[in-house]
Amino acid sequence: MRSDEFMNAEEVARYLHLGKNTVYQLAKTGKLASYHVGRKLKFTIEDVEAYVSSTHKAPSSQAPRAQAPAAAETGKEPLDDNKALTEAASFGDITGDRFIIAGADEAADILASALNVHGVPTARLMQGSYTALVNLYAGQADAAVINLFDQATNSWNTPYVRNLAPGSSVVTIRLFGRKQGLIVQERNPKRLTTWGSLLREGVRLSNRTKGSGSRVLLDEKLRALDARSETIEGYSSQAYVGTTAIRRVSNGLADVAVGHEREALHVPGVQFVPLQQEWVDIVIRKTPKTRTTIRTINDLLVNNNVRREFAALAPCDVSKLGVVVYES
């Protein structure tokens, strides 16, 4: 897509992993530039990217930056570009007694919408899984929707909850499973079928931002291969939005990106190579403020309407939706 081509609200919603009504609200408040073409509201990819960049710059009036625990405490490489609280993209400013859900997945948007409908004022923080969990630990978010792979235990999310939120009283609830893997150009001309194939000479990677679930998965797999990531062309690049990384592949600017199957379905000219099952969970701090909200979330996750919304994120596995996978 060229920078001067228009997108409609539905396309922007898919691009940003937000609800369509959220996009209209962002346009109404002026946070996302928009244009009227006849009676229809339109957006350019350039302005959408400008909005994404703006959400990673904290205004001076916001709370102090949440610092990640030291590497020695977590056993993980610290997130060196950890940002302060971003704007609440979905439901206005983070003020008062709002329940704050951090994370960038569409699942967080679905839950935030459902909570608002059920009388729980809810705000969203658009940020990668790692940063979302750090902000939960710092008390700057009440919940975090995460998809973080740990190679040492071959498991998802729980090792990060233990390492990044030590001593915290939390509950982790399963949302859904899906496939992660390589997103390559149509017909896969470079024959990229394994994590090791990324190490071949001449393979150009369109990388994701540090802290995103896809970036953490890639880094864990490279570490397991004892690979030098700096030798991969494009490794140092960072796309804050998954679709941005994938469009670079579609446009021939890169050969491969890492992402989940649904992301690949929305970008023409690419195909998906499945390599890893992943699980998306929500982690919630157990506090007097959240006690009632946790019960509401449990009720929502067995509600047929909400279950259908999650199932609509197909291809995904909702068979374990609502199962408690960790509690402390």
Given the structure tokens 């992301």, which residue do they identify?
A: 263
Read off the amino acid at residue 111: L
Domain 179-277 is in which class? alpha beta
Which residue ranges make up each domain of the chain?
6-54, 71-177+278-327, 179-277
User: Which tokens sit at 306?
Assistant: 């909400």
* 3-class secondary-structure state, position 321: coil
Domains 71-177+278-327 and 179-277 share a fold: yes
Residues with Cβ within 8 Å of 70's Cβ and at least 6 positions away in sequence, in order, are: 78
Q: What is the pTM of this model?
A: 0.74
> CA-CA distance, 106 to 242, in Å (whole number)?
12
Digits of tens for pLDDT over the chain (328 positions)? 444 467 888 888 877 877 788 888 888 887 888 887 777 888 887 778 778 766 654 333 333 333 333 333 333 333 333 333 333 333 334 445 899 999 999 999 999 999 999 999 999 888 899 999 999 999 999 999 999 999 999 999 999 999 999 999 999 999 999 999 999 999 999 999 999 999 999 999 999 999 999 999 999 999 999 999 989 999 998 887 788 899 999 999 999 999 999 999 989 999 999 999 999 999 999 999 999 999 999 999 998 889 999 999 999 999 999 999 999 9
The sign of the CA dihedral 31, 16, 130, 247 is: negative
pLDDT at 322: 96
Domain at 71-177+278-327: CATH architecture: 3-Layer(aba) Sandwich (3.40)
DSSP per-residue codes, 281-298: EEEEE-STTTHHHHHHHH
CA atoms within 13 A on the CB side of 81: 14
Read off the amino acid at residue 169: S
